[in-house]
Chain A
Amino acid sequence: MQNDLIIAGFGGQGVLLIGKMLAYAGMADGKEVSWLPSYGPEMRGGTCNCTVVIADRPVGSPVVERPRVAMVMNLPSLEKYEGMVKPGGLLLVNTSLISRDVQRSDLRVVKVPANEIANRLGNPRAANMVALGAYLGATRAVSLAAVEGLVRETFAGKAKVIDSNLAALQEGYALGEREAADGKAVSQEVGA
């Protein structure tokens, strides 16, 4: 059993951080993990992405060309990764920054207004946590508790930041769970 995903967005949206948190949480859950960031001339101010693999046995390729899941935090990332996700895979879309619809009909789509939810919770920087929560809710790739523990560790000493990030994570989780259970998230299976 292998979970792999690509998380992509603008630099500064915290996509590398939530990827690392997933890898840490997977490791804490006793899974094999790898985390691979994009690096290159685009590292400053441009788009960035990371690939996370969480598996029951040693991770083969850390490079994933056809991910089972893509989490896209901005429009350029949707343009780039929509076509790459495996048929029947999952696409998490940050609808706060992406207004266009997903064109493929063979994917499960979870729409997450990540920035709106984060703003409402009073921490605009926690949009990444909303998206991470939604991914966990939709896939249960790692346990919510493990990630919550990491949030407390990452922001240790900043009680307010911890609270708002936890709230973002939990709200995202509930949304992901709901959308995944809901028929609309599971559109059409492969070859249907």
Chain B
Amino acid sequence: MAETVVFARPQALAPVPTHYCPGCTHGVIHRLVAEVVDELGLAHRTVGIAPVGCSVLAYNYFSTDFQEAAHGRAPAVATGVKRARPDLIVFAYQGDGDLASIGMAEIVHCANRGEKITVVFVNNAIYGMTGGQMAPTTLPGQVTTTCPLGRDVSQVGYPIRVAELLATLRTPAFVARAAVHTPLHAVTAKEMLRRAFRYQAEGTCFSLVEVLSTCPTNWGMPPVEATEWVEKNMVPYYPLGVFKTPDGLDRAPRPAPATEG
């Protein structure tokens, strides 16, 4: 009897176990990226840029070529690769400390130059690799090791909404936010990643998909509770959806018409 393969490891994903903690959704996001790269037939000319943070070892988990970047500099490294070889598909995989803290300058300018690269931005509201410090995306009141009494917005400001921030740039781009804490959300996330890579492959624009992720270890809760925490606490602050499409339209607010005295 002929067998039909209904589920297999994507070719772009390396056949190795990852170091991620139980319940962490980096693995899901890796898989979605790999599936998209496979389905678009891009794997052979894809170069990934790995960040510093929990996903620092991403270069071991994809079966594509990779360059490791210094903390926060992945968009700059990606720019170098893409400008040297515009025929390559270049994606940077970055966490919230990497992209939204130390690498804020690089990501803003990369997006503003309209580099034809794709950024997968994983937001789990905490520094994972270094043991649970406050991130720029840590929610108000959330306890971390460097805000032991909870994030005090009067001292450190509000969490940065990266997708919204980048969407304010005039340069055409595709910017979206997705989540992977339920299967249905993961399906939508994959759709957005597919659009992001397609825009790059077509040479259209810069693309970034922010993906809300979990950190059971540093949030201090079991994996199932962590997925509920995403729904209950993160999604309300970080709304899901598409924030910018490369239609070239300037949606900057217009000055209000002068009112007659």
Contact = CB atoms under 8 A, between A and B. Distances in A.
Interface string B157-181: 0000000000000000000000000
B217 interface: yes
Contacts of A45: 21-22
Interface string B1-32: 00000000000000000010110000000000
Contacts of A41: 19
A108 B19 CA distance: 37
A44 B21 CA distance: 8
Interface string B208-224: 00000000010000000
Contacts, number: 5
Interface residues of B, number: 4
Contacts of B19: 41
Nearest to B218: A44
A142 B217 CA distance: 35
A41 B217 CA distance: 14
A167 to B, nearest CB: 29
A45 B19 CA distance: 10
A51 B35 CA distance: 46
Nearest to A45: B21
A137 B19 CA distance: 39
Nearest to B128: A44
Contacts of A44: 21, 217
A174 to B, nearest CB: 37
Nearest to B19: A41
B51 to A, nearest CB: 16
A44 B216 CA distance: 12
Interface string B182-222: 00000000000000000000000000000000000100000
A84 to B, nearest CB: 26
Nearest to B22: A45
Nearest to B57: A41
Contacts of B21: 44-45
Nearest to B217: A44
Interface in A142-181: none
Nearest to A42: B19
B244 to A, nearest CB: 37
A44 B22 CA distance: 10
Interface of A: 41, 44-45
5 contacts: A41-B19, A44-B21, A44-B217, A45-B21, A45-B22
Interface of B: 19, 21-22, 217
Q: Ordered nearest first, which 5 A-B pairs have the shortest CB separation? A: A44-B21, A44-B217, A45-B21, A41-B19, A45-B22
